[in-house]
Amino acid sequence: MNFSRKNPIQTKAWQKLTAHFEQIKNVHLQEMFANKIAREQELSVEFGDFFVDFSKNRWTSETIQLFTELANELHLRESISLYFKENNLNFTENRAVLHTALRSDEKEIVLNGNNIIPEIKSVNEKIETFTKAIISGSQKGHTGKAFTDVVNIGIGGSSLGPKVVCNALQHYKNHLNIHYVSNIDGDELEETLKKIIPETTLFIIVSKSFTTAETLQNANSIKNWFLKYAPETAVQKHFIAVSANVEKVVDFGVDASNIFPMWNWVGGRFSLWSAVGISVALSIGYENFKALLQGARKIDAHFKTKDYKENIPVLMAFTSIWYSNFFLTSQHAVIPYSYYLEDFVPYLKQGFMESNGKSVDRNGKAIDYKTGTVLFGGVGSNAQHAFMQLFHQGTNLISTEFIGFCNSLHGNSDHQDVLVANMFAQAKALAFGTYGKKTDNPYKEFKGNSPSTTILIKKLTPENLGSLLAIYEHKIFIEGLLLNINSFDQFGVELGKELSRNYIESLHESASKKSLLMQFYKNNQ
Ligand code: F6P
């Protein structure tokens, strides 16, 4: 059994969905609610600390049934089970996709004849020992002082994943200050260097390939800066690396014992569960890091076993295909109502847009339906005062996912109640607008009928965050499967990298580059 390679729009279920869409495309959400008692109950899912309300989507239980038929025609159940075992899901790079193994409690997951679980365990033990020693201060910098700061040098998945977790869980953090340097922008680097003292800072170079230009240049510049204040021998105490490319890391000057391995079966944007998350474990402690993994593991079990009509990631993926391929929307917003989730949207942008921005199917054929949508968003209620006017009265149809927490972390319920009330009100205003109400001022009319899903979580804990992240990972996977694309490669980022290399060479050669950059630009198009 292998993953299906069927064109989804050639299935019987797709034809049925098309006919069903014609029937309900103009039905207003207001009418859907009026005609169905207990719609919320029928179209919501409860799981652990999560309550997910799908009722404000422009669909019915029949839509879910038809998507289930589509999933069955495309052998989704078998694919889900394969996704947790040896597979060749990333077939264009000839790689397995097994990041779920990083949080698994199975005793054995075999890949190419080897059980990968003991290897994962031994890296986790190394992370545990190391992070405990740094946090407790028993492992010190080259002058004998304990570490106060940690700088994660990495880009894309080697930064966005750990950064979103670290910032989301800052309530649980210890005394270590964690910084992330990702961009090649030297100003970003300088601003970080201004905040740290070399003798008490630990640097983690995170790069699966250890060939990423931005990361290597940043790592070299930081090392040169560090060597202005410390002898060469101090590098061993202050620089560690997370990579699948041991040889290149050693060439850079990191001691082999300071390398935390990762594997080519872990994609960059799904890697925060591996040693890539070491900055997280340093910030919140290894026990909290374990709780994060446990939360993801719980969703893995839910995802593997639940019927589609109660399966959170699967239902979320159904909504996404429903809007992009039937309502023909091209934007999707995610709006978390939590200060702590400020970095959540940038993280999801990579997850969804790097994974599902594809136009060739799993048979190498050009696609004639819609694949990835543009994901954007921001934290509520700020978003309401910035860009949500367009959702309410613009001409584009935008689907939204709201994420909120019942309890604040500091126990301030006055503010939390208002925050969550705002989220509920937005979902309601978007769904119903002023539909059916007489207004004599067209500028004050709200068309409503804008779909949303609301994810309500009891509290932002490491475990619940792990679950939330895993829900979105699985949503990406299901979208890709149903759309018959490979969600796990990213060749689209290569051309720009290549072209920039030519520019860099010419710019380095051009003596007068600084004053004549604009002229250079015009001459080199
Ligand atoms: O350029 C895209 C990309 O390959 C991402 O997929 C990845 O997360 C990022 O670059 C960083 O890659 P690496 O960890 O190999 O430095």
Q: Which atom of ligand 1 is nearest to the CA of 490?
A: 6
What pLDDT does 243 receive? 97
Give the residue from 147, 130, 137 showing the smallest Cα distance to 202: 147
Q: Which two tokens stand for residue 414?
A: 């006055």
| Protein residue with its CA nearest to atom 8 in ligand 1 | 157
Q: Which atom of ligand 1 is nearest to the CA of 157?
A: 8
Q: What is the pLDDT of residues 302-325, one digit of tens each?
A: 999 999 999 999 999 999 999 999
Q: What is the pLDDT of residues 62-104, one digit of tens each?
A: 999 999 999 999 999 999 999 999 999 999 999 999 999 999 9
pLDDT band at 521 (very low <50, low <70, confident <90, very high): confident
Task: For residue 44, report the phi and psi dihedrals to the nearest 5 degrees.
Answer: -135, 160
The catalytic residue positions are 354, 385, 497
pTM across the whole model: 0.96
Mean pLDDT of 392-418: 95
- The answer to whether the CB of 273 falls within 8 A of the CB of 127 is no
Phi/psi-derived region of residue 328, left when phi > 0, alpha when psi is between -120 and 50, beta in every other case: left
| Protein residue with its CA nearest to atom 5 in ligand 1 | 156
In percent, the amount of the chain with pLDDT more than 70 equals 98
What pLDDT does 1 receive? 67
- The answer to whether the CB of 334 falls within 8 A of the CB of 353 is no
What pLDDT does 248 receive? 95
User: From the CA of 157, how far away is ligand 1's center (Å)?
Assistant: 6
Q: Is 150 helix (H, G, I), strand (E, B) or coil?
A: strand
| Protein residue with its CA nearest to atom 9 in ligand 1 | 156
Task: For residue 394, report the phi and psi dihedrals to the nearest 5 degrees.
Answer: -75, 175
Q: What is the pLDDT of residues 14-31, one digit of tens each?
A: 999 999 999 999 999 999
What pLDDT does 515 receive? 62
As a whole number of Å, the end-to-end CA separation of the chain is 49
pLDDT at 508 over 80: no
Q: Which residues line ligand 1 (CB under 6 A)?
A: 155-158, 207-209, 212, 215, 268-269, 354, 490, 493
Q: Which two tokens stand for residue 74?
A: 């495309």
Q: Can you tell me the distance from the alpha carbon of 369 to that of 7, in angstroms, rounded to the nearest whole number?
A: 10
Mean pLDDT of 204-211: 96
pLDDT at 512 over 60: no
Q: Which atom of ligand 1 is nearest to the CA of 209?
A: 15
User: From the CA of 162, how far away is ligand 1's center (Å)?
Assistant: 14
Residue with the larger pLDDT of the pair 149 and 505? 149
Q: Can you tell me the distance from the alpha carbon of 474 to that of 352, in angstroms, rounded to the nearest whole number?
A: 11
- The answer to whether the CB of 111 falls within 8 A of the CB of 86 is yes
| Protein residue with its CA nearest to atom 1 in ligand 1 | 493
Q: Which two tokens stand for residue 47?
A: 């799981």
Mean pLDDT of 120-138: 98
Chain centroid to CA 379: how far?
16
Q: Is 377 helix (H, G, I), strand (E, B) or coil?
A: strand
pLDDT at 516 over 80: no
